[in-house]
Structure 1
Amino acid sequence: MEYIRITSINDPLFRKMHNLMKEVFPPEEVLEFSLWKEPLEDPGIRVFVALHEEEVVGTTEYRYYEDWNVAMTDFTIIGREGLGIGRFLALHRLKDLNQLAAANGKELFGMFAEIYDPYQVLDYAFGGVKPMDPFVRREVLSHLGYKRTDLTYVHPSWNNDGEAVSGLDFCFMPGDDTVDELPADLIVNFLKRYYAVLPEKPQAWNDMIAKLEAQERVALLPL
C-alpha cells in the first residue's frame, strides 16, 4: 500500500478519492468536486490516499497549525475491510504531523477531530462499509486517545446554506494523555479560522461560539 499526497483536482486519483467520499459520507459533508481546487493547492491542507493495486482504498485530510501547534483531522475514510487501512493511515498521518511539529521546533500538542455520535443519530450508513460504522469508528478513535470536549457541538453545513449540522462531538487527542482540559480561546480561535471558508454561519453555531467565549477552560471527557 502507498501513501500518496493529492495536490490537484486534475490528478486521476482525486476523482477516485472524491467518488469514495460520496459513497461513504452524507451529501452535506462532501464538498463539490470543483470547489476542491483551492484546498488541494493550499500547502497547509494535506490530503493523502491509500493506494492498493491502483485503487484508492482509503483517504485522509488533515492540517497543522504552527501558531497553536495543533492539528485537525478533517476526515478519514476506510474503503475496504481486511487491509489494515485505518492503522496504515493513522501511522503515516502521525509520522507526517510529528515531522511538521519538529520542523516548528515543538512536539505536537494534539489533534482535533469531529467524531460522529451514533447515540444521537442512528441513520449514518457510510456506504455499508463496516469499518466506517460510527459505533466502530468511535471506539477506535477512543482507543487512539481522542476525548470529547464538554460542549454541545454543531458546525456549519459544507453546503454553505446556513444550516447547522449536529450529531457530532468536537474531540481532541492530546499528545499527553494526562491533559484533561483545553483553553476555551484555543477552541474558539480554531473554529473561527477553520470555518472562515463558510460565510453562511447558522445561529446555533454563533450561539455556541458566544458561550465558549464566556468560558476560560473546557473539560475533556471520555469518548
Structure 2
Amino acid sequence: MEYVRVRSIEDPKFAEMHQLMKSIFPPEEVLEFELWREPIADPDIHVYVAVNNGAVVGATEYRYYPELRVAMTDFTIIGAMGLGIGRFLYLERSRDLQRLEKESGTVSRGMFAEIYRPHAVSALKFGNVLPMHPAVRREVLSHIGYQKLDIVYVHPSWDHEGKAVTELDLGFFPADDSSRSLPASLVVQFLKQYYEALPNKPKEWLDMIAQLEEREEIELLPL
C-alpha cells in the first residue's frame, strides 16, 4: 500500500478521494469539489490517500499548528475492510506529524478531532462500510487515547450554508497521557483559526465561542 499526498483537484486521485468522501460522510460534512482548489494547494494542509493496487481505498487530512503546538485530524476514511487501511493511515500520519514537529522545532501538546456521537447520527449510513460506523470509530479513537472536551460542541457546516452541525464531540488526544484539561484560550484560538475559512458562522457557534472565552480550563472526559 502506498501513502500518496494529493496537492491538486486536477490529480485523478483527488476525484477518487472526493467520491469516497461523498459515499461515506453526510452532505453537510463534504466540501464541494471545486471549493477544494485553494485549500488542497495550501502547504500546511496535508491530504494523503492510501493507494492499493492503483485504487484509492482510504484517505486522511490533517494539519499542524506550530504556534499552538497542536495538530488536527480533519478526517480519516477507510473504504474497505480487511486491508489494514486504518492502521496504515494511523502510522503514516503519525510519522509525518513527527516530521512536522521536528521541522518546526516544537513539541506537540496533542491532536484534536471531531468525533461523531453514534446516537445522534443513527439514521446515517456512513457509506455502509462497517469501520466507518460512528460507534466503531469512536471506540477505536478511545482505544488510541482520544478524550472529549467537556463542552456542548457545534461547528459550521462545510457546505458554506452556515448551518450548525451538532452531532459531534470535540475530541483531543493529549501527548501527555496524564493531562486532564486544556486551557480554554487554546481551544478558542484553535477553533477560530480552524474555521476562519468558513465565512458563514451560525449563531450557535458564535455563542459557544463566547462561552468558552469566559472559561479558564476545559476538562477532558472519557469518550
- Per the normalisation by structure 1, the TM-score is 0.98
Deviation at 1:159, TM superposition (A): 1.3
CA distance in 2, matches of 1:120, 1:33: 27
Deviation at 1:67, TM superposition (A): 0.2
What letter is aligned with 1:188?
A: V
Number of matched pairs:
223
Q: Secondary structure at the match of 2:177?
A: coil
Deviation at 1:104, TM superposition (A): 1.7
Q: Are 1:147 and 2:163 an aligned pair?
A: no
Q: Are 1:43 and 2:43 an aligned pair?
A: yes
Q: Deviations over 1:146-181 (max 9, x none)?
A: 000000000001111121001100010011111110
What letter is aligned with 2:143?
A: H
CA contact (8 A) 1:124 1:134 kept: no
Q: What are structure 1's unaligned runs of at least 5 residues?
A: none
Could you say which residue in structure 2 is the equivalent of 1:207? 207
Q: What are structure 2's unaligned runs of at least 5 residues?
A: none
What letter is aligned with 2:11?
A: D
Could you say which residue in structure 2 is the equivalent of 1:117? 117
Q: Are 1:218 and 2:218 an aligned pair?
A: yes
Could you say which residue in structure 2 is the equivalent of 1:83? 83
Stretches (4+) displaced over 6 A: none
Q: Secondary structure at the match of 1:115?
A: strand
Q: Are 1:63 and 2:63 an aligned pair?
A: yes
What letter is aligned with 1:155?
A: H
Fraction of identical pairs, as percent: 60
Deviation at 1:44, TM superposition (A): 0.3
1:61-210 residue pairs with structure 2 within 5 A? 61-210=61-210
CA distance in 2, matches of 1:84, 1:119: 27
CA distance in 1, matches of 2:125, 2:162: 24
- Per the normalisation by structure 2, the TM-score is 0.98
Q: Secondary structure at the match of 1:9?
A: coil
